[in-house]
Chain A
Amino acid sequence: MSAPTIDHTLDEILNLAASHFKVPREKLTADDDFFKTLGIDSLQALDLLTRLEHHFRIELPDYELQGVSDFRTLANRIQARL
């Protein structure tokens, strides 16, 4: 089975984030700073990371996300693990 496209991965991340943090999906875009758009702190970002790992069935070490704050880069990091 081939890996999903980056657009598909990004879309799933945005859907999950919107649903869990109760933000309208249409307000989220790929280049948003997710800390600001979702209004989350570092602990909630870890929560998001755990949810994404469960959703995509991957392990994503937190050090790969240092300095990452936009959905597009996050999607790229996840894509590299699929």
Chain B
Amino acid sequence: MNEFKGQTLSWQIVNGAIELALHRDPCNEIGSLTLEELEKFAAALPGLGDEAQALIIHSTLKAGFSAGADLRELFQRGQAMEKDAALRGVQDFLQRIHGVMNALDAAPLTTIAAVHGVTFGGGFELALVCDIMIADRMARFCFPELRLGLIPGFGGIPRLKRDLGNAVVRDLLLTGRSFNVMKAQQIGLVSQIAAEGEALRVARATASQVGKFDRQTAAVAKAFVKPIPYDELKREIDIFCNLYSRPAVAEGLRKFVENEGVQPYLP
């Protein structure tokens, strides 16, 4: 399937690069429908990879790359079923999204996240699976999960630890603060900064450059420098599920979802 137009995302091959575009309003919240379509993409990826040298993930929405997991869906599903069933549902969702993230992480293509605006939580985790992050000058990053009594659940902590110094990881996780692109480049997350609205163009130029090289060599080099922390990723799911079971989390999610103030509920 060289081209796909879904409800939450679409893909096509443009000049030898697969372009995966996220477009679920309001800001690409990742819920069950996005997961289904991401799984479709992961299944199509080996075939697409035969015809492309790179993958670019970007968002067509003005608000940003992605606001992360769909917390409304998470809360509502938790309310609609028994506690054990809700927990099994969360565990199943996490295992499936980890399957997608791991497939993207291990893809033999060179993968590029072209991010702008809000790049939070699960959206940040999706960008983190990519080999190269190119960010618009107005991009903003955050792992807000601890502010709601959780940890990132889509592989964020092991992948942050893979890429950054532990002191920086602690700061970002334990404060849950958002930070701008200058900080992101300073700590080594973002490799190139683009002017406002230009991240996709810069990503396309980068994809064109990496396409000049022998694919097998590029794939071997990538596998050599970017090991996937499978054991820690599994532990992350366990820790997330243990935390999710506590009443404080449901209460935090309720406050977040039911908040009608102009500022989000994020303690």
Encoded as 1 (CB less than 8 Å from any B CB) or 0, chain A from 33 to 48 comes to 0010000011101110
B115 shortest CB reach to chain A, Å: 13
A 36-68 contacts with B by CB, 8 A: 41-43, 45-47, 49-51, 53-54, 59, 61-63, 66-67
Q: CA separation between A74 and B46, bound complex, in Å?
A: 50
Within B9-36, the residues touching A (CB, 8 Å) are 27
Q: Which chain B residue shows the least CB distance to A68? A: B263
A interface, over-half SS:
helix
The majority secondary structure among interface residues of chain B is mixed
Option from A41, A46, A50, A63 in Cβ contact (under 8 Å) with B262: A41
Contact present for B264 and A61 (CB under 8 Å): no
Asked whether any CB of chain A lies closer than 8 Å to the CB of B63, the reply is yes
Contact of A54 with B137 in the complex, beta carbons under 8 Å: yes
B218 to chain A, nearest CB (A): 34
Partner pick for A62 among B117, B178, B182, CB 8 A cutoff = B178
Q: Tell me if B4 counts as interface (CB < 8 A to partner A).
A: no
Contact B180 A42 (CB under 8 A): no
Q: Which chain B positions have C-beta within 8 A of A54?
A: 137, 180, 182
Q: Chain B 210-239 against A: per-residue CB contact (8 Å), 1 yes, 0 no? A: 000000000000000000000000000000
| Interface status of B242 (Cβ within 8 A of chain A) | no
Residues in chain A near residue B182, CB distance under 8 A: 53-54
Using Cβ atoms and an 8 Å threshold, which residues of chain A touch B181? 50
- Complex interface: chain A residues within 8 A of B126 (CB): none
Separation of A54 and B266 alpha carbons in the complex (Å): 24
Interface size on B, residues (CB 8 A): 22
* B138: interface (CB < 8 Å): yes
Across the interface, which residues of B come within 8 angstroms of A63, CB to CB? 175-177
**How many residues belonging to A are interface residues under a CB distance threshold of 8 Å?**
19
Against A, the Cβ 8 Å flags (1 = close, 0 = not) of B51-66 are: 0000000000001100
Q: Judging by beta carbons under 8 Å apart, are A66 and B180 in contact? A: no
Bound Cα distance from A42 to B118, whole angstroms: 11
Q: Which residues of B contact A59 (CB under 8 A)?
A: 179-180, 183
- With A35-B262, A41-B262, A42-B262 in contact, do A50 and B180 touch (Cβ < 8 Å)? yes
Q: How far is A59 from B262 in the complex, measured between Cα atoms in Å?
A: 23
Residues from chain A with Cβ under 8 Å of B64 in the complex: 43
Report the Cα distance A69→B261, complex, angstroms: 12
Chain B residues contacting A62 (CB-CB under 8 Å) are 142, 177-178, 266
Q: Which residues of B29-87 have CB atoms within 8 Å of chain A's CB atoms?
A: 63-64
Given the complex, which residues of B lie within 8 Å of A66, measured CB to CB?
Answer: 263, 266
Closest 4 CB pairs between A and B? A61-B177, A35-B262, A62-B178, A50-B180
7 A-B residue pairs with Cβ-Cβ distance under 8 Å, sorted by A, are A42-B262, A43-B64, A43-B118, A45-B263, A59-B179, A62-B177, A63-B177
Measuring CB to CB, which residues of chain A are less than 8 angstroms from any residue of chain B?
Answer: 35, 41-43, 45-47, 49-51, 53-54, 59, 61-63, 66-67, 69
Query: Footprint of A on B, CB under 8 Å?
Result: 27, 63-64, 117-118, 137-138, 140, 142, 175-183, 262-264, 266
